[in-house]
Amino acid sequence: MNASIFSRRSGILLHVTSLPGGQGIGDLGSSAYEFVEFLAQSKQKIWQVLPLGPTGYGDSPYQLFSAFAGNPLVIDLHALRERGLLSSQDLACTSVLPEGHVEYGRVIDVKQGLIQKAARTFLADGGHADRLAFDIFCRDNESWLDDYSLFMAGKGVYKDAVWADWDLGLRQRDSSVLEEWRQKLSPDIDIHKFAQFEFFRQWQKLRTHCQRYGISIMGDIPIYVAHDSADVWAHTELFRLDAQFRPIAVAGVPPDYFSATGQLWGNPLYRWDVSAATGHCWWIDRFRASLKLFDLVRLDHFRGFEAFWEVPANASTAQGGKWVKGPGAEFFRTVKAQLKELPFVAENLGVITPEVEALRQEFGFPGMSLLQFAFGNDPQGPSFRPHNYSRELVAYTGGHDNDTTVGWWSSSGVGESTRSTEDIRQERDFARAYLGFENEPVNWVLIRAVLASVAEIAILPLQDVLGLGNEARMNLPGTVSGNWKWRYQPNALTKDLADRLGKLTILFDR
């Protein structure tokens, strides 16, 4: 484990889309900088975000149009106005968007239109220095940017249809057809390239601001990519697809805490043998790109590298799947030989075997623990209790798939998970006895427990710091709509809140 990266400290989990502001969705503008100020005031050293790519199916950051691109929806439009690419009248269009939550359909309509307008202005009349920076960005990122921008332009032509339904020449990536479409769609392609240029410029500026305060950013790499993505379209050989470019089998997990029928994610599975034959080139490029954006990275569904749950493509639930061996240690040895340092956190939640833990420990990746899982009747419950923590751990009160701590404590839970009413009663009784509390706010009880633990890193979802209920839940696994919408309210990050969290952070040497 890299001691400089994984030193004793704490931070907050907050996705960029959850920041407040007047553009219908959290963005990389003033609210992001204000949040960094709050992190500094409350003595936090890590900002953890969810995947930052362009969202597709269900608006999920785990179903992206690209594993390399950024999400144009979080571009700060005010920065475009300041550079003369938009007018104040243009920005007035965003006033129709709600501020309390994200309505993705409306945000997409409004913000995409404004970004397109800014792009056309830039491409027609951008200053020399900016155009030079744009050209350099396009050159440095052409390995993924050319495919991504053509893919997104193609989706525009085909009214967002899945790429496997496009004309045969495009599906098969016939070189003459690709060149013809690049010529024909050149204006739209350049707009998508501009959006990426602007996203990465704004992100790097924000990251520099974090560095001034000694704040590290923890990113997130989903193990799987969406079938309807530039990655699968451009690298069909790496995925298990049939002759029509449809998945032969798909990813998921067996029945678990969240669902009695398992979770059917639907992502195509990898052809790990083909990946190995290339020296895992695509994966190494993916990791390298992420490490340009983040200081450390959470590897989502780490256990899938050891063994993954394979579900027939025509299945309606994940129950009928089977475990299949993944690439294992050979994969990470190859990656490490290329990248040297691997500042990875292994998301080792769910059905975890000794083989998964041996793989994690071989490469020194800290695991994760969620305190909400510590008190129920799950056989793995004891491993989530602080007295069993190791130092090489990232400890959370809860994660983005969990209810908030207040919501978890106050909700019946029945119908939302595999727990019965009696299970929940016993869970609460045990939690009270274990944590030794009566009527204190439950969110602060759990916050104190993870901060006091020996785990080197403690991460708190902002919803728990704010003491919010299940109205602030980010995601309910197994559902495809109504998720990822939460935003915190302006002025929620008070000095008193920063002081309270800061005192606990100092108390426990973080």
| Catalytic center residues | 300, 347, 401
Per DSSP, the three-state class of 250 is strand
* d(C-alpha 107, C-alpha 21), whole Å: 13
Query: Closest by alpha carbon to 249, among 263, 265, 269, 233?
Result: 269
The maximal CA–CA distance of the chain, rounded, in angstroms, is 71
Stretch (H or E) spanning 401: none
The CA-based angle 169-172-177, given to 5 degrees, is 35
**Contacts of residue 488, Cβ cutoff 8 Å, sequence gap at least 6:** 14, 18, 19, 20, 462, 463, 466, 472
Distances from the Cα of 8 to the Cαs of 95, 384, 461, 465, 503, in angstroms? 43, 19, 18, 19, 16
Pairing of strands 367-370, 307-312: unpaired
- Here the tokens at position 84 are 């003369």
Q: Compute the chain's Rg from CA coordinates.
A: 23
* d(C-alpha 110, C-alpha 132), whole Å: 28
**Contacts of residue 196, Cβ cutoff 8 Å, sequence gap at least 6:** 69, 70, 72, 137, 141, 145, 148, 149
**Contacts of residue 25, Cβ cutoff 8 Å, sequence gap at least 6:** 17, 73, 74, 97, 102, 104, 107, 111, 487
Distance of CA 18 to the CA centre of its chain: 12
